Amino acid sequence: MLTLSLALAAFAALIFVLVRCLTGTAFTNYSADATGNLWLRATAQAAPATVYLALYTVLPTDSGGGTEVTGGSYARQAIAWAAPSHLTPSGSQWANSGAITFPTATANWGTVVGFGIFDALSAGNLIFYGNLNANQIINSGGQFTAAVGAFTVTID
């Protein structure tokens, strides 16, 4: 299901995406290419078994970059998605199916302004990214968490 949602969502010319917990969501060149190749050229790409949530102090662009949080016990966290619900009048919506808890910061992480979804725990391909609704300052002893359903992706 995640494979299809990412593939469909990346076909940016035909799809509108909303992320309730996040704003300004954008799909990357990587995910747009993969989706276009799947639907227009019948060239499938293996989907990752797990996707990971990354936190950013400077947002990336469609081609990558940005400044991901580093140090102070930071590590990307796996994010799983529930089956889609169908919306009226149209569209489908996916929500994170488990709480997301990053490790407690052992050093200041700075002001977290956005997120990225990757296909690997480290390095890997950035699939999509976006702003948080509100910046979060994570200092030593702080922790970034998100409840079940806090992240939603709507495709219409």
Instruction: Give the model's confidence band at 111: pLDDT under 50 very low, under 70 low, under 90 confident, else very high.
Output: very high
As a whole number, mean pLDDT of residues 72-89 equals: 91
DSSP string, the chain: -HHHHHHHHH-TTT--EEESSEEEEEE-HHHHHHHHHHHHH----PPPS-EEEEEEEE--BTTB-SEE--STT---EEE-BPPPEE-SSS-EEEEBSS-EEPPPPSS--EEEEEEEEESSSSS--EEEEEEEEEEEEE-TT---EE-TTSSEEEE-
pLDDT for 141 equals: 97
- Average pLDDT in the chain: 82
> Could you list the residue range(s) of the whole structural domain that residue 73 is in?
2-155
As a whole number, mean pLDDT of residues 79-105 equals: 89
Residues in the chain: 156
pLDDT for 155 equals: 64
pLDDT for 19 equals: 39
As a whole number, mean pLDDT of residues 119-148 equals: 93
Q: Please name the residues in contact with 126: beta carbons below 8 A apart, sequence gap of 6 or more.
A: 28, 30, 60, 64, 116, 117, 118
- Higher confidence at residue 122 or residue 89? 122
pLDDT for 14 equals: 29
Number of domains in the chain: 1
pLDDT for 118 equals: 95
